[in-house]
Chain A
């Protein structure tokens, strides 16, 4: 560890890919350095990957720049390579060295470790990743027993044991579920519910508890433990349970607190906000650099490159070309009149929403974006498409056709403006067709994930986008006939209000003081009839509610409740009423809608059972679906031909589970992707491998690295991590000679697959590559399986009232 009083030039905290690459380069450059790792081995995050996991080296185009090598391969190979690099370059690494406090400033930082040691250093490289610290059980005895653990790598390792799993989150539930087939499993919950977990997990654990395969301990707080026992404090007094193993899944404390304690500031309070860094990875604390996933780069290769670069910067080389230069060149390949630097410079000059991006964010934004130069008349996107990216106009202009039936009605947007943000916010189809309006137009198309991240991190971008979006949504969905001044007036009176799933927006009988335009999510309309709440309708994003009370002098005639998490634009009632009175065509439009709603309401009142079906479907989260598979159980013969068809047309793996899933009346919702408006599965995909087609299909590309985040994030449990199934003999070999397992998913292959087989995420892609549409629906011999889109729900339920 060097002499006690040595002052290091650089201390690197964390030996993940970023940290160890930094360590190696510091050593190669001969810097006085130390690499501090809290675990007793290097690169704890990768170390904790599942045994044999295939580690991917995306993005392919990004060249690797480091003294540490990294190629796609098994977890073991990758770790071996890194460990030998640490040896080879004689990196000064300290294990079991968790940094708990940082003080001082550039040139004289003091680090304190949990073991009490202190370290002096001139600069710090913070490379602690995002995994955070696992919370531990702090009760008498917990330090001294050996049957207590905080992680579970492989549930199949244990058999015939009595195991207590502590926790009510997804990790605890998944562990309990994994263990319960071969062990006696208790799950200890401080409360009485598992509602914090994903719906699929909650349902699964409750069902296992129902079946008696997992024993719940509700309202139980762990109190003390001795070897082989654990005691809980419960409402019925202390309960001591003898057990072979305790697995405490208490979650992890995100590293944010520690990072903030180092003096580093975060741009927002959002859960996933990351600290801001300069072009040289320096944070607001001078001399403290941040690299790797904590700096906002979610992949290993990027982390490794940054480890190298940050040492170059610290060593005084500020001229280093960023490694992503080839990626920028790639993005700008169609742009002739700007070189990379000029373009980068101009972006911030020409595009106000990107003005406040720091150089690093700007590069990342461009790497992820597509830059095109569409000639005049080229269609950028069409009304009804589902692509939710945002475009900015770098040069030239575009034409927006605001009226479907009359292409001559249009609005021109000039250089500096952006468009497409409404689709991003609502997750719905594009509301207008947009064409290039000049031959020299240059557009930057930024994908959803990047834009959402920028929205979190850059306040000004978020504000100007939201403001513009309000105006445009009012224009598109309420008052296309109004002039822009009047719209502006409405917009000025408007505010954004959000509602959680199930929250009431207004109650029947309330006074009507506002109009709500739903910009994200959907709502349910209900009315009290004969003492019972009857659901009358489902209203999707892009529509408004609350006009009835404003147009008449009545109070609210129905209750509006959000069906999923919603965002609404609340428009002041008086201002709206006044505008309507002044404007004939608007009045006519609103009255028409009003009349139409009254008719629909009457229809639904006659069919209360249809209302219950709406209620059921919304409860199942279908309010956020764009396309959902339903089965009419009254004609489903249970032949599973739908599943077989799916497997046969999708590489041997069925993406739907017909029998699973809830049923109400005769409507069954099988476990299969709903192609959510805001796909939860997309949230944390490191290589951004989950995409959405213009037609709305959410699908996973070959870039998947198999991390399993999407499987965890999908609340409907429709993604599975699966190895590639073996090839099967053809249909006729099976029909005539009985060769192979026959059509459909061969359920034995997963068990037979080698342990280190590469697993990737698979889910329904709505058969986007198959002409003729969904195979599952086509293969249903009786017509029981159907796919429904939200705009068809109501028709479908109303008209199908009898048979469905």
Chain B
């Protein structure tokens, strides 16, 4: 069905077309490797080694080119989703091809640096796919149809109510409420964004303070109960808002590893090739 195809996700594009292509590539490489092995100690120097090396190098360059292709918006030959699908499965295939290319000889040298970077890039890529597959749904669920703006709107409404309630309360509590209104934030620095629990939240503090002070339920008058209810409500929205930001950051932060690894890999690859040809 046409409409169904139209919003098939990148992972299952055309019944895993690129997955099977990548599997085929790996399969051929493994068969050749096993068939080739008896002829001597395997390494990058044999004809198969060269072939696998060239394939790996081409793959690395092509995989990195994705960063450019992603931004060539005017090009119309294929959808980006198709590229991403291919990027993922051939990226994974690269691990095996590169491993075979190395003949399992890993040491502490420039050649292995390239190999390790392949592993790091791929690992970060796998993490990225995990993130892309998991978090959008969580984000939708967490938002429950609200946008972050709307959440902020609700918070400022609750703040108005809290200010009003605070005036009826003892000084100490009023100060705590004022603090909850004025000093509560969402976001913050990167650690706080990623782990909102670390935020020392004045709203939570205010609630704790009131609840411990009036631990005995019978001691709570109407305005105390109301303040607690408002604080609880605000905390709930704060949790949503912070979670929203957390997910947004998670969806992006892995690229700050993936891309530098990829660039470093490209550098290491060039060094590796130069080293092979000039200093072998």
Residues of A bordering B, CB below 8 Å: 207, 210-212, 632-639, 641, 644-645, 648-649, 659-660, 662-664, 666, 731, 735, 743, 770-773, 775, 777-784, 786-788, 792, 795-796, 799-800, 803-804
Given known A783-B81, A800-B7, A803-B7, contact A210–B150 (CB-CB < 8 A): yes
Inside 8 A of B8's CB, which chain A residues have their CB? 783
Are B73 and A775 in contact (CB-based, < 8 A)?
A: yes
Q: Which residues of B contact A (CB under 8 A)?
A: 1-4, 6-10, 13, 67-68, 70-74, 76-81, 83-84, 132, 135-137, 139-140, 143, 145, 147, 149-150, 152-154, 156-157, 159-160, 248, 251-252
Whether the pair A779, B73 counts as a contact (CB closer than 8 A) is: yes
Residue ID in chain A nearest B74 by CB atoms: A649
Q: Which residues from B are CB-within-8-Å of A735?
A: 67-68, 71
* Interchain CB contact under 8 A, B10 and A786: no
Q: Pick from B1, B3, B73, B79 the residue with the most CB of A within 10 Å.
A: B73
Taking the nearest CB of chain A, how far is it from the CB of B103, in angstroms? 35
Q: Is the interface of A mostly helix, strand, loop or mixed?
A: loop
Bound-state CA distance A637–B136 (Å) is: 6
In addition to A211-B153, A212-B157, A663-B147, 18 A-B residue pairs with Cβ atoms within 8 Å of each other are A210-B154, A211-B156, A632-B7, A635-B132, A636-B136, A644-B73, A645-B73, A648-B74, A659-B147, A743-B71, A743-B73, A780-B79, A781-B83, A782-B9, A786-B7, A796-B6, A800-B7, A803-B9
Query: CB distance B136 to A804 under 8 Å?
Result: no
Is there an interface contact between A637 and B9, defined as CB atoms closer than 8 Å? no
Which of these, A639, A770, A771, A804, contacts B7 with CB under 8 Å? A804
Tell me whether B140 and A663 are in contact (CB under 8 A).
yes
Give which listed residue, B3, B67, B137, contacts A788 with CB less than 8 A. Answer: B3
Indicate whether A781 sits within 8 Å of B3 (C-beta atoms), given known contacts A211-B153, A211-B156, A731-B68: no
Chain A nearest Cβ from B46, distance in angstroms: 36
Q: A568 → chain B, closest Cβ, in Å?
A: 28
Contacts of B160 in A (CB 8 A): 212
Cβ B136 vs Cβ A634 within 8 A: yes
> Within the complex, what minimum Cβ distance (angstroms) separates A658 from chain B?
11
A777 touches B153 (CB 8 A): no
| Residue contacts A-B, CB under 8 angstroms, 7 given | A207-B153, A637-B136, A639-B251, A663-B143, A770-B74, A770-B76, A779-B70
A785's closest neighbor in chain B, by CB? B7
- Whether B145 contacts A778 by the Cβ 8 Å rule is no
Residues of B within 8 A of A787 (CB): 6
Residues from chain B with Cβ under 8 Å of A743 in the complex: 71, 73
Q: Determine whether the beta carbon of B80 is less than 8 Å from that of A781.
A: yes
Q: How far is the CA of A700 from the CA of B263 in the complex (A)?
A: 43
Residue from B78, B81, B137, B153 within 8 A of A210 (CB atoms): B153
Residue from the set B76, B137, B139, B157 with the largest chain A CB neighbour count within 10 Å: B76
Closest chain A residue, CB of each to CB of B248: A638
Asked if B71 and A792 sit within 8 Å, CB to CB, the answer is no
CA gap between A269 and B140 in the complex, in Å: 49
Asked if B7 contacts A792 (CB within 8 A), the reply is no
Is B73 a contact of A211 with CB atoms below 8 Å?
Answer: no
Q: Which residues of A contact B13 (CB under 8 A)?
A: 783
With A and B bound together, what is the CA distance between A715 and B2 in angstroms? 30
How far does the Cβ of A603 sit from chain B's closest Cβ, in whole Å?
A: 13
Given the interface contacts A731-B68, A778-B80, A783-B7, does A635 sit within 8 Å of B145 by beta carbon? no
B73 and A648 contact, CB distance less than 8 A:
yes
Instruction: Specify which chain A residues have a CB less than 8 angstroms from the CB of B248 in the assembled complex.
Output: 638
Question: Given A207-B150, A659-B147, A638 and B251 touching (CB < 8 A)?
Answer: yes
Q: How far is the CA of A589 from the CA of B231 in the complex (A)?
A: 64
Q: Of all chain B residues, which has the CB nearest A666?
A: B140
Asked whether, in the complex, the Cβ of A635 is within 8 Å of the Cβ of B136, the reply is yes
Question: B229 CB to closest chain A CB, in angstroms?
Answer: 19
Q: Name the distance in Å between A170's Cβ and chain B's nearest Cβ.
A: 21
Q: Is the CB–CB distance between A779 and B153 below 8 Å?
A: no
- A804 CA to B6 CA, complexed, in Å: 12
CB of A649 within 8 A of CB of B73, answer yes
